[in-house]
Amino acid sequence: MVHLLYSGHHIARTWRRQAPESNVMHLFFLQLIYSNMLSYHRARLNHILSKAALNNQEWTLFGLANRERKWAGLQPLWLNARLTLLARLKSQDMINDRYFSHQSPRFGRIGNLLRTAGIPFTLAAENISRGGNARSAFSAFMQSSGHRRKILDPRYTQTGVGARTDERRVLFMTQIFVRPK
């Protein structure tokens, strides 16, 4: 496949001289290669942009979750910029509407929020915390079997982390876990 990437001009130059069936196969492989490259680079760019935009509390929670996954022999979660924005939105929504629940009066459950935002997924969950800091939130998550299960579930491949502070300086954190479609 790598050879085809570098010799794409060769394929385009010679495909007229070959049988029509062969031309279709070359075109198919070129489309496959370029679409895979684009989706990889789009995901990688999304991951890089997300990392640059995290605040200290978000970065700490993201790092602790991936450290725990590494110790458990799991792949790290990819940071998704859109999920991070939604996690921040959820944290701010809990502050604005003065609630602390997985069920938002405005957005419903996490699946509803993801569908409304147009994010395709096959599996989704969230962990929420109030008070303390990212380290204390993570410690509480790991002591709860349900929250721990979400962090260590190998089916989740992407995450978004959002931290917001209310007027009394109480920290609200949301971590969204997704397996994309």
- Where residue 135 falls among pLDDT bands split at 50, 70, 90? very high
Contact 164, 138 (CB under 8 A): no
Average pLDDT for the chain: 81
- Where residue 53 falls among pLDDT bands split at 50, 70, 90? confident
- Where residue 54 falls among pLDDT bands split at 50, 70, 90? confident
Helix ranges restricted to H, 117-165? 134-143, 145-151
In the prediction, which pLDDT does 1 show? 30
Please say if the pLDDT value at position 161 is more than 60: yes
Q: How far apart are CA 63 and CA 25, in angstroms?
A: 44
Q: How far apart are CA 138 and CA 69, in angstroms?
A: 13
In the prediction, which pLDDT does 139 show? 97
Contact 91, 164 (CB under 8 A): yes
The CA–CA distances, whole Å, from 71 to 64, 65, 66, 86, 160 equal 11, 10, 9, 28, 20
Contact 168, 94 (CB under 8 A): no
The CA–CA distances, whole Å, from 62 to 34, 58, 112, 129 equal 31, 6, 23, 14
Residues 6 or more apart in contact with residue 82 via CB below 8 angstroms: 46, 117, 119, 160
In the prediction, which pLDDT does 18 show? 45
Note the pLDDT tens digit of each residue in 11-40.
333 334 444 444 444 444 445 444 555 555
What is the pTM assigned to this prediction?
0.72
Mean pLDDT of 119-124: 96
In the prediction, which pLDDT does 42 show? 55
Mean pLDDT of 134-154: 97
Using DSSP, state whether 107 is helix, strand or coil: coil
